[in-house]
Amino acid sequence: MSTRTTVGILGGGQLARMLALSGAPLGLRFLVMDTVADACAGQFAPLLVGDYRDEAALAQFAGKVDVATFDFENVPAESAEWLSARAQVFPNPRALAVAQDRLAEKTLFRELDIPVPEFATVASRQDLERALDAVGVPCILKTRRLGYDGKGQFRIRGYGDADAAWEALGAQAATVGLIVEAFVPFERELSVVAVRGRDGEFRTWPLTENWHVDGVLSASLAPARVEPELARRAVEHARSLAQRLDYVGVFALELFCRGGELLANEMAPRVHNSGHWTIEGAQTSQFQNHLRAVLGLPLGDTGAIGHACMLNWIGQMPDAGAVLREAGGHWHDYGKEPRAGRKVGHATLRADAPAALADALERVGRTLGRESQVAPPVAALRGL
Ligand code: AMP
C-alpha cells in the first residue's frame, strides 16, 4: 500500500461514505461509482456517475483504481466479473452472485450444514400452491433477487392470502424469481459480522442482536448476550461460508434464533448496518477491517470496548442534542435528503457497563420521543 493507493467502491451510499472516512487515516484515496449524482459518498470522495452495465464507465473506473469493492450487493454479477478481469475485485464476483440470489444462498447454506427455514421456489401461480403445501403457512413470499430492507416481500398468514401475494409479487416471477420461506417465530435476531483477509485470516466481532421494524433494522446491541455454545456455532457458520466462498473482506450473516436453534436468513457480502456499532464500540471498525482485508494489510482486533447500541434514523434525522449530550454518544448524519423509509443516519451509544448503556438509551429515547425504538435493547440490557 502506498499513499497513492486508490480504492474503488461500486455504490456510493452511506457504506461507501463510512469506508472512505475510515480509510482517510491510512492515507487511502477513493473513487466511488454510483448511478446517481447525489450519492452521499460523493461528499467525501470523487464520484463517477454511470450505469454499472456501462462498460465504458466501468473501464474508466477500473483504470483509476488499485482495488475495487462494493457498497451495494446488487451490482450486476456480470459487471463484477467484467471488472475482475481488469482490476482486483474483493469480495470475488462468485461470492457476490451467491449472495444476490436467495435460492443460491440457501442452497449453499444447506450444503454447509447451516440450518435454514424451509423454502421452495415459485415459478407460477399454481406453483405457489405447491410451495405453500411444501413449506406450510405462515410463510413469506420473497423476490429471489434485488430485495432488501423488507422490500420485495409479502407475508402469507394463510392460504387465503395467496391471491394477494401473487397480485403483489407475481409479475416478478419471470424477472427476479420468487421464493417462499417458512415464517420463523424467532425469539431473537442475531448477526455475525466477520472479516476474512487475503491470506485467509478470519475474525468476527462479538455477536450483535438486532431488532427490525417493518423489515428495516431499527436497533443493534453488542455484544449480544448469548450462550457461548450458540455464539460458537454462529461463528463456525460464518467461518465455513467465508472459506467456501474464498471470501475477502467483511460480510454479515443474519440469523434467527429460536429455542436454542440458529437458522440462517441471509448473508450480506459487504459491511453491514448491524456492524455500525463497531466504529466506536470495537477496537477496529468493520470499515477499517474491510479496507485492510481488501488491501492485504494485517487485520485489526475485533474485540468490543464495553457495550454499544446503534439506533437507525429512518426517513429524517432527529435532533442531535440528546445523543451529543451523552458521554458515550456518537452521531452519524449521512448527508442525505430526508425521504420516507430511507436510512439517513444513525447514533451509537457506548458505555462500560450494561446498566449505564440502558440508562443512556432511556434518556435519549425519552428526549426524542422514541421510547419504542430503545425499549427492546433496554430490556435486553436489563435482562428483562
Ligand atoms: P430480509 O430482507 O430477508 O433480511 O428480511 C428483513 C426482516 O424481515 C428480517 O430481518 C426479519 O425481521 C423479517 N423476516 C424475513 N424473513 C423472515 C422469516 N422467514 N421469518 C420471520 N421473519 C422474517
Q: Which of 240, 235, 233, 206 is nearest to 109 (CA)?
A: 240
Domain-embedded: residue 99: no
Domain-embedded: residue 95: no
Quote the pLDDT of residue 1.
61
Ligand 1 mean position, distance from CA 155 (Å): 10
- Mean pLDDT (the chain, rounded): 96
Q: Considering its fold, how many domains does the chain have in total? A: 3
Same domain assignment for residues 239 and 337: yes
Percentage above 90 pLDDT, the chain? 93
> What are the two backbone dihedrals, phi and then psi, of residue 221, each rounded to the nearest 5 degrees?
-130, 135
Which residues partner with 178 through β-bridges?
Answer: 122, 143
Ligand 1 mean position, distance from CA 200 (Å): 30
Please state whether the peptide bond connecting residue 223 to the residue before it is cis, i.e. omega within 30 degrees of 0.
yes
Which residues partner with 212 through β-bridges?
Answer: 217
Same domain assignment for residues 236 and 368: yes
Residue 31 to residue 12: CA distance in whole angstroms? 9
Q: Tell the residue nearest (CA) to atom 11 of ligand 1.
A: 215
- Model confidence band, residue 4 (pLDDT cutoffs 50, 70, 90): confident
Domain-embedded: residue 38: yes
Domain-embedded: residue 108: no
Quote the pLDDT of residue 12.
98
Same domain assignment for residues 46 and 169: no
Please state whether the peptide bond connecting residue 91 to the residue before it is cis, i.e. omega within 30 degrees of 0.
yes
Same domain assignment for residues 199 and 236: yes
Ligand 1 mean position, distance from CA 91 (Å): 24
Same domain assignment for residues 289 and 202: yes
Minimum-distance ligand 1 atom for the alpha carbon of 210: 10
Q: Which of 71, 146, 91 is nearest to 334 (CA)?
A: 71
Strands (E), the chain: 6-10, 29-34, 47-49, 67-70, 88-89, 119-122, 139-143, 153-156, 178-182, 188-196, 202-204, 208-213, 216-222, 249-258, 261-268, 307-314, 329-333, 343-351
Domain-embedded: residue 101: no
Ligand 1 mean position, distance from CA 290 (Å): 25
Residue 78 to residue 355: CA distance in whole angstroms? 49
Ligand 1 mean position, distance from CA 215 (Å): 6
Per-residue pLDDT for 149 more than 70?
no
Report the CATH number at residue 85: 3.40.50.20
Which of the residue ranges 128-137, 192-201, 244-253 would you say has the lowest mean pLDDT? 128-137
Per-residue pLDDT for 340 more than 90?
yes
Same domain assignment for residues 310 and 376: yes
> What are the two backbone dihedrals, phi and then psi, of residue 36, each rounded to the nearest 5 degrees?
-120, 145
Quote the pLDDT of residue 73.
87
Same domain assignment for residues 223 and 331: yes
Q: Tell the residue nearest (CA) to atom 1 of ligand 1.
A: 150
Domain-embedded: residue 104: no
Residue 180 to residue 195: CA distance in whole angstroms? 30
Same domain assignment for residues 59 and 165: no
Report the CATH number at residue 303: 3.30.470.20
Ligand 1 mean position, distance from CA 232 (Å): 23
Q: Residues near ligand 1 with C-beta < 6 Å?
A: 117, 140, 147-148, 150, 181, 183-184, 189, 212, 215, 254, 265-266
Which residues partner with 253 through β-bridges?
Answer: 192, 267
Ligand 1 mean position, distance from CA 186 (Å): 10
Domain-embedded: residue 225: yes
- Model confidence band, residue 384 (pLDDT cutoffs 50, 70, 90): confident
Q: Tell the residue nearest (CA) to atom 19 of ligand 1.
A: 183
Ligand 1 mean position, distance from CA 224 (Å): 19
Ligand 1 mean position, distance from CA 188 (Å): 11
Encoded amino acid at 208, one letter: T
Pocket test for ligand 1, best of 132, 265, 270, 272 (most atoms within 8 A of CB): 265
Minimum-distance ligand 1 atom for the alpha carbon of 181: 19
**DSSP secondary-structure letter at 45?**
S
Same domain assignment for residues 248 and 210: yes
Quote the pLDDT of residue 147.
75
Burial class (CB in 10 A: 0-12, 13-18, 19+), 175: exposed
Q: Tell the residue nearest (CA) to atom 14 of ligand 1.
A: 215
Same domain assignment for residues 159 and 217: no
Strands (E), 23-138: 29-34, 47-49, 67-70, 88-89, 119-122
Ligand 1 mean position, distance from CA 142 (Å): 10
Considering 129, 152, 182, which residue would you say is the last residue of a domain?
182
Quote the pLDDT of residue 173.
87
Asked if 92 and 72 count as a contact pair (C-beta separation under 8 A), the reply is no
The pTM of the full predicted model, rounded to 2 decimals, is 0.96
In degrees, rounded to 5, the angle at the alpha carbon of residue 278 between the alpha carbons of residues 12 and 68 is 35
Residue 119 to residue 135: CA distance in whole angstroms? 6
Report the CATH number at residue 134: 3.30.1490.20
Q: What is the pLDDT of residues 240-286, one digit of tens each?
A: 999 999 999 999 999 999 999 999 999 999 999 999 999 999 999 99
Burial class (CB in 10 A: 0-12, 13-18, 19+), 302: buried
The secondary structure of 322-337 as a DSSP string is HHHTSTTEEEEE--PP
Cell 478470519, located at residue: 202
Per-residue pLDDT for 233 more than 90?
yes
Minimum-distance ligand 1 atom for the alpha carbon of 148: 2
Same domain assignment for residues 194 and 124: no
Per-residue pLDDT for 3 more than 90?
no
User: Span 203-229, mean pLDDT?
Assistant: 96
- Model confidence band, residue 151 (pLDDT cutoffs 50, 70, 90): confident
Per-residue pLDDT for 344 more than 60?
yes
Minimum-distance ligand 1 atom for the alpha carbon of 265: 3
Domain-embedded: residue 106: no
Considering 141, 162, 182, which residue would you say is the last residue of a domain?
182
Radius of gyration of the chain (CA): 20
Quote the pLDDT of residue 2.
59
Per-residue pLDDT for 205 more than 80?
yes
Q: What is the pLDDT of residues 164-186, one digit of tens each?
A: 999 999 899 889 999 999 999 99
- Bigger pLDDT: 148 vs 267: 267
Distances (CA, A) of 339 to 16, 21, 37, 276, 312: 20, 24, 17, 21, 14
Considering 151, 182, 213, which residue would you say is the last residue of a domain?
182
Q: What is the pLDDT of residues 12-61, one digit of tens each?
A: 999 999 999 999 999 999 999 999 999 999 999 999 999 999 999 999 99
Minimum-distance ligand 1 atom for the alpha carbon of 149: 2
The range of the structural domain enclosing residue 127 comes to: 118-182
Same domain assignment for residues 68 and 83: yes
